[in-house]
Amino acid sequence: MKKSLKKIIAVSLTSIAMLTSLAGCSSSKPAETKTTSSAPVTITYAIWDKNQEPGMRAIADAFTAKNPNIKVKVEVTNWDNYWTKLEAGATGGALPDVFWMHSNNFVKYASSGMLMDVTDKIKNSKTISEDNFPKGLVDGTIQDGKTYGLPKDYDTIGLWYNKTMFDEAKIAYPDGTWDWKKLQEVAKKLTNPVKGVYGFAAPADAQQGYYNFIPQNGGNVISADKKKSGFDSAATKEAIQFDVDFSLKDKSSPTQAQFAETSFAAMFQSGKVAMGLFGSWMVSEFKANDYVMANCNVAVIPQGKQKATVYNGLQNSAAAKGKYPEQSWKFLEFMATKEANIIQAEKGAAIPAFNDTAQPWIDFSKEFNLKAYPEMLEYAVPVPTSKTAAKWKEYENDILKKVWAKELTVEEGCNQLAKLMNETLATEK
């Protein structure tokens, strides 16, 4: 749930120690952190996606209509600055009352005592139930047996394609029968060096790239028990090689150097690539682009040895030591209702986490085949993560970029990454 995805800001061990220390210190002043529900207050709700602001504002307004004494101020900060600002708020004891939390950073904030423990609040709620959400999304809100938030939405990855280019080449549009071989074949046919057009965008991107191909080939990024890297397995290396070959072997994708100058999303939106993998969070941006609206559509992701796409989900969390804990919980609780999820869907913000509420989101952008995204949840696998994900994903990003730049072979890069990842995972407790 990133904007894509996504540049991860790692927090140092020193920062984590500061966070834990502050959590302990702040608890010594309970009188300053409690406000009765009868007093009119304004709580802050921090998000990072401007495109979703109308939907979040509508939810906040609906909540205030039911709770006139609680107003909600929606604060939008772009992805790159969001985490810097959130870390500053955590170390300074001034987190927003309620805010979006991403899987990349959840463990860090939950284990540092920064997020409100809502385990008992959920159990005692007469309004909501965790059974209303996919189990994988609920699991993503739990750390060490305690729950620190409620699912907001989820995303999957689809294959976007340029209908005009397919029509001109007299090639049938992608559908559920496509596999790796078909994707390679069509990517080559749609590549036109003279016009500077490529058949497929294959950057060194995790969530909108190799994270999908790895489980499709029977590999994994991390073992189920989160103790071992999967990058040194043959299946994972084959999937990485498949992705790399589009640019380095087939020449049907721009190179990593070209992507460094112009993002693959920008290339797709200007007709420089015919196909690309994009998350459902990109729909708002694509809908605002005249070229994409006139020429493009989306299909389910092509399959390898098996069907798979990665999915991720955002959650709404509250500050553990916020000034208005009672009001913050009430807002969290409301956002987990079917009513709030439908509002989110009707505004086209994101695919709502609440079961069977995706249709309004699909209908919001009828120009595209958006039903492909929720359909893929049936065989989707969670984005890989662990307690030290921020660290090993740095290694992953740095090393695999060298593989895409042909500075390392797939074999060399994956083996190096697996070694560093295993050393990092060994520090987890």
Q: For the chain, give every domain's residue range.
A: 13-155+312-354, 157-311+384-425
pLDDT digits (tens, 9 = 90+) for 244-261: 999 999 999 999 999 999
Side-chain half-sphere CA neighbours of 235 within 13 A = 17
Q: Which residue has the tokens 């696998």?
A: 381
| Domain 13-155+312-354, CATH class in plain words | alpha beta
Distance CA 351, CA 280 (A): 8
Pick the CATH number of 157-311+384-425 from 3.40.30.10, 3.30.70.100, 3.40.190.10, 3.30.2010.10: 3.40.190.10
Predicted TM-score of the model (pTM): 0.87
Distance CA 103, CA 314 (A): 7
Count, residues in the chain: 429
CB 195 within 8 A of CB 272: no
What does the pLDDT read at residue 344? 97
Distance CA 243, CA 236 (A): 11
Distance CA 421, CA 428 (A): 11
Q: Do domains 13-155+312-354 and 157-311+384-425 have the same CATH topology?
A: yes
Nearest to 121 by CA among 314, 357, 320, 313: 320
DSSP state of 131: G
Distance CA 219, CA 241 (A): 13
Task: Determine the 3-state secondary structure of 310 from DSSP.
Answer: strand
What does the pLDDT read at residue 104? 85
What does the pLDDT read at residue 429? 79
Query: What parts of the chain have a pLDDT lower than 50?
Result: 1-36
**Facing residues of 311 across strands?**
382
pLDDT digits (tens, 9 = 90+) for 329-369: 999 999 999 999 999 999 999 999 999 999 999 999 999 99
